[in-house]
Amino acid sequence: MKRTIFFLSLIYTQAVHAQTLKEAIAMTDNEQYEVAGDLFKSLLQKEPANGTNWFYYGENYFKSDNLDSAAIAYSKGLQAEPTNPINLVGTGKIKLEKGLNSEARADFDKALAMSGSKTSLVQSEGAESFISTRNKDLSYAIKLLNNAIAVDSKNPELYILLGDAYSEQNNGTLAAENYNRALDLDKKAVKAIVQKGVLYKRSTNFEGAAAEFQSAIKMNPDFAPSYRELAETYFKMRKLDEAKQSYRKYLELSKNNTMARMRYASFLFMSGDFADAQSEINQLSSIDSSNIGMLRLSSYNAFEMNDIPKAKMLMEKIMNTTIENQRTAMDYEYNGKILLKEGNDSLAAENFEKSYLIDTTKTEILQDMGSMYMKLKKYPQAVNAYERRVNNGKGLTSTDYFNLARAYYFNKDYTHADTMFAKVIELLPTWPNGVLWRAQTNAQLDPDSKEGKAKPYYEKYIEVALADSANADKYKNGLVESYKYLGSYYYLIDRKTDESKSYWKKVLELVPDDKQAQQVMAGLNQKK
């Protein structure tokens, strides 16, 4: 009887423990990192030799961007239970994040060898590492997940991870198939719905993304990431009020943890609400001023609030406390902007280049690069920067074509300059400056004016400039240039003295003491 009671008690204790661990993991998934951390500590006090508990404790730290604490947890897990391979996945993940790829792979290989092929846990967690870390290996992650599915084909989490891997590969079709497979297995797999929304968001289908996130919220109103993703989608849609409302709900559900508040501060920054962002930053700095994410946001926000000395001081900390592969595109972008403010154009351009190489989707940085090279009179480099912007950029404007056209012009590539100025005029047919630049370009293509290539554009410039009577003073120099060109053309090429004279008279009406016009008019009058 006592044996039976003991056995039942043991079963009950294990069930409670399992449920508690499950709850702690769910809290991590719900981005309630600090609450989850307290629960993990409680678990570890009861079972300090449980390596699996240590691993998920480390995962809680890892997902809240506290890599040092995560590394300590994984290491303690290995010490506590050396025969449990799961913490080797954790140590491998840390090494992978730091760029120690070969050392990381050694940890993963050892973990796989220890676990054998009968369990999916090491394969799935290893795959997640190669999906979520900075140094991804998506093909290897997919291989691990397929192995895991062969063992545990009814586990929806595996299909969600497989969908994530395909999503990172930009294979939306296979990603969606696997998210739907997860939902077939578990109709309440809210993470699958959220990830479908993320898939839509990546493809800039923001309406579709919002619908998925709203569906996830309807299914599980307490799942915090749904609100964060919805908030960020609303931001992309420029629905800022709705975005703030969703973010506040996210903060509430994630228990206002530090990571959530940092994300909110980042959202305020990206929304251009720099004052409110600074208020959040100030509060968070009192909690953890050394956090690299906080340093980044503080530096960026200080720059936007025109506190350049503070922005520079914080950026120097970032650059001094990180190695090159840990620095982000925005680190180099803002370092470039700071250097630009200080007048260090060459070093600014180098940082803009590094920023673009890290994230080639941010083609707007190429505008800054091109501007820098133009200031430095490095015209081939300016052409290269602006060409990449035009060739790779979305949502191009007349300014993009104009910048490239000017770079071609100063690089003495007048043929390509003419093509780009033609594009500018197509977009802005009544903008006088665009027409004038094309006239000047064609004057370079036809330096002796024998073909009269510049003539129609100088004539067009006069037309559009005079039409804008409210800004007549702005166009005085351009009109003088146009009249002089046409005056010379009609005399030297067409031999039409009267037409020539009429244009030189217009020059003198604008600039009575223009010596060239006076001399030409004197000569033309003598010929009469």
User: How far is the C-alpha of 525 from the C-alpha of 414, rounded, in Å?
Assistant: 37
44 within 8 A of 54, measured Cβ to Cβ:
yes
Tell me if 458 is assigned to some domain. yes
Tell me if 99 is assigned to some domain. no
pLDDT at 524 over 90: no
Tell me if 466 is assigned to some domain. yes
pLDDT at 361 over 90: no
Tell me if 350 is assigned to some domain. no
Tell me if 114 is assigned to some domain. no
505 within 8 A of 522, measured Cβ to Cβ:
no
Number of domains in the chain: 1
Q: Report the pLDDT value the prediction gives residue 24, as an integer from 0 to 100.
A: 92
* Mean pLDDT (the chain, rounded): 90
Residue 12 banded pLDDT, cuts 50, 70, 90: very low
Q: Report the pLDDT value the prediction gives residue 309, as an integer from 0 to 100.
A: 95
User: How far is the C-alpha of 484 from the C-alpha of 492, rounded, in Å?
Assistant: 12
Tell me if 123 is assigned to some domain. no
Tell me which of 305 and 293 has the higher pLDDT: 305
Q: Report the pLDDT value the prediction gives residue 440, as an integer from 0 to 100.
A: 97
Read off the pLDDT of each residue in 46-55 and give the average, rounded to a whole number: 94
pLDDT at 430 over 50: yes
pLDDT at 84 over 60: yes
**Which of these ranges, 15-24, 261-270, 357-366, has the smallest mean pLDDT?**
15-24
Following CA atoms 158, 159, 164, 168 in sequence, which dihedral angle do they give, to the nearest 10 degrees? 110
Residue 8 banded pLDDT, cuts 50, 70, 90: very low
Q: Report the pLDDT value the prediction gives residue 326, as an integer from 0 to 100.
A: 81
Q: Report the pLDDT value the prediction gives residue 2, as an integer from 0 to 100.
A: 40
Instruction: Please state whether the predicted TM-score (pTM) of the whole model is above 0.75.
Output: no
Tell me if 489 is assigned to some domain. yes
Which has the closest alpha carbon to 94: 135, 54, 122? 135
Read off the pLDDT of each residue in 317-339 and give the average, rounded to a whole number: 91
Tell me if 435 is assigned to some domain. yes
Give the DSSP H or E segment for 511. Answer: none
pLDDT tens column, 145-169 = 999 999 999 999 999 999 999 999 9
Owning domain of residue 441? 429-527
**Which of these ranges, 24-28, 59-63, 280-284, 322-326, has the smallest mean pLDDT?**
322-326
Which has the closest alpha carbon to 460: 488, 506, 490, 425? 425
User: How far is the C-alpha of 498 from the C-alpha of 519, rounded, in Å?
Assistant: 16
Domain holding 457: CATH number?
1.25.40.10
Q: Report the pLDDT value the prediction gives residue 98, as an integer from 0 to 100.
A: 86
Q: Report the pLDDT value the prediction gives residue 472, as an integer from 0 to 100.
A: 80
Q: Report the pLDDT value the prediction gives residue 15, as an integer from 0 to 100.
A: 38
pLDDT at 456 over 90: yes
pLDDT at 274 over 90: yes
pLDDT tens column, 243-259 = 999 999 999 998 878 88
Q: Which residue in this structure is represented by tokens 């400056």?
A: 433
Read off the pLDDT of each residue in 78-86 and give the average, rounded to a whole number: 94
Check residue 220 and report its DSSP letter.
-
Non-local CB neighbours of 277 within 8 Å, separated by 6+ positions: 265, 266, 268, 269, 297, 301
